[in-house]
Structure 1
Amino acid sequence: MEQRIGSSSKPVEGEPVTGAGFDPAFIPGLTAPLRAEPEDAKPAAESEEQPEPAEEPEAAAAAAPAEPEAEDEDEAPEGGPVFEAADRRAKFVADHRGVRLSLDEENCEFRWDEIAAVETESPRFGKRFTITVHTPDRRWYPIEIEAAARARFKEWEEQLDAVLDSYFEEA
């Protein structure tokens, strides 16, 4: 009997390829899945169409309609409390828009209605402060931030509690 190594399931033609079933490294909210390019597509260099010459920056700015400064008009005002902790690789920000995590070049963002809980953990030894964002679908996203001194842990917890008390609504 012949045995195959690897997955025998293949994506349906024309359907988007998403989820951990096709990409074991897929984590919702972190990055958009890569789309497979059709086999008959030509590379951009071989394209027969010539790009139009670029407009002058002033003309392009005048032709484009003015965009509003805020992303949503129903957003909370920016005057509320903000918590931000960062080190050389990681960054955690909690403000009126929600929670944003960054590690190296990877980013993910959660609105307040997408968060079930936010948990902090201070190590007994060492200087790595851990913040974990839990979502209602039982996923969690931890991030470790290295503090300059252990004394920052208490300060960070107090600041994060103030932000959570202001914006996070328990259902």
Structure 2
Amino acid sequence: MEQRIGSGSQPLEGAGFDPAFIPGLTPPASAEPEDVKDEDVTEDADSEETDPEAVDEVEEEAEEEAEEEAPVDGPVFEAADRRARVVADHRGVRLALDDQECEFRWDEIGAVEIEFPRFGKRFTVTVHTPDRRWYPIEIEATARSRFKEWDEQLDAVLDAYFEDGADDADVKEADAEEADAE
């Protein structure tokens, strides 16, 4: 008795193989030669490069990046260990742990909290957002004496860029003016 090795059925084409296949309107995905696919891709890439709007967008993005990279006079806080990193400057607060990163602009931050234990060398920075979420990160200091230095640097950055205190001062001034008017 003879036995056949392998499948005797033909590979599926059409709707069973390609859900986007509509009989009579679109050819099966395997029917199109690879040369035609490559030409379409290169034509699309060429048309995007010559599109003036796309060129303008790329130039604007490059200008924005250059502005962000430009040095700004003002305090900067930076603390890092072998795994974690915290940077606070004119752009906001950036946290990084291993390969995960997040960035908060100053208008996205509700509060910044710092904490250091009585014993140990872990400095914790927690960013609180207005929607009641918090993002803590721990930095391992080389010595406990770094805690005071980091605290002073972060306070200077918060005083310079975080505008929560300015709003409270405006409210107090307005209340004082109303009291004087009465």
Shared fold per TM-score greater than 0.5: yes
2:117 aligned residue: 123
- Contact kept, 8 Å, 1:93 with 1:100, in 2: the verdict is yes
Which of 151, 154, 162 is equivalent to 2:156?
A: 162
Partner Cα separation in structure 2 for residue 159 and residue 85 of structure 1: 10
- Contact kept, 8 Å, 1:81 with 1:163, in 2: the verdict is yes
CA shift for structure 1 position 52 = 2.9
Partner Cα separation in structure 1 for residue 143 and residue 158 of structure 2: 23
1:27 aligned residue: none
Q: Deviations over 1:129-148 (max 9, x none)?
A: 00000010111000000000
Q: Which runs of 5+ in 2 are unaligned?
A: 1-17, 21-28, 47-54, 168-182
- Contact kept, 8 Å, 1:77 with 1:96, in 2: the verdict is no
Paired residues in the alignment total 119
Q: Deviations over 1:65-115 (max 9, x none)?
A: 65311159xxx9711110000001000000000000000111110000111
Partner Cα separation in structure 1 for residue 111 and residue 133 of structure 2: 11
1:146 aligned residue: 140
The one-letter code sitting in structure 2 at the alignment partner of 1:162 is A
Partner Cα separation in structure 1 for residue 140 and residue 113 of structure 2: 16
Partner Cα separation in structure 2 for residue 128 and residue 83 of structure 1: 17
* 1:49 maps onto 2:37 in alignment: yes
Structure number, greater radius of gyration? 2
Partner Cα separation in structure 2 for residue 77 and residue 138 of structure 1: 33
1:103 aligned residue: 97
- Pick the structure with more helix per residue: 2
Partner Cα separation in structure 2 for residue 127 and residue 79 of structure 1: 31
2:84 aligned residue: 90
2:67 aligned residue: 70
CA shift for structure 1 position 40 = 4.3
SS at match of 2:114: strand
TM score, norm. by length of structure 1? 0.61
The one-letter code sitting in structure 1 at the alignment partner of 2:83 is R
Once superposed, what is the RMSD of the aligned Cα atoms?
A: 3.0
TM score, norm. by length of structure 2? 0.58
The one-letter code sitting in structure 1 at the alignment partner of 2:86 is F
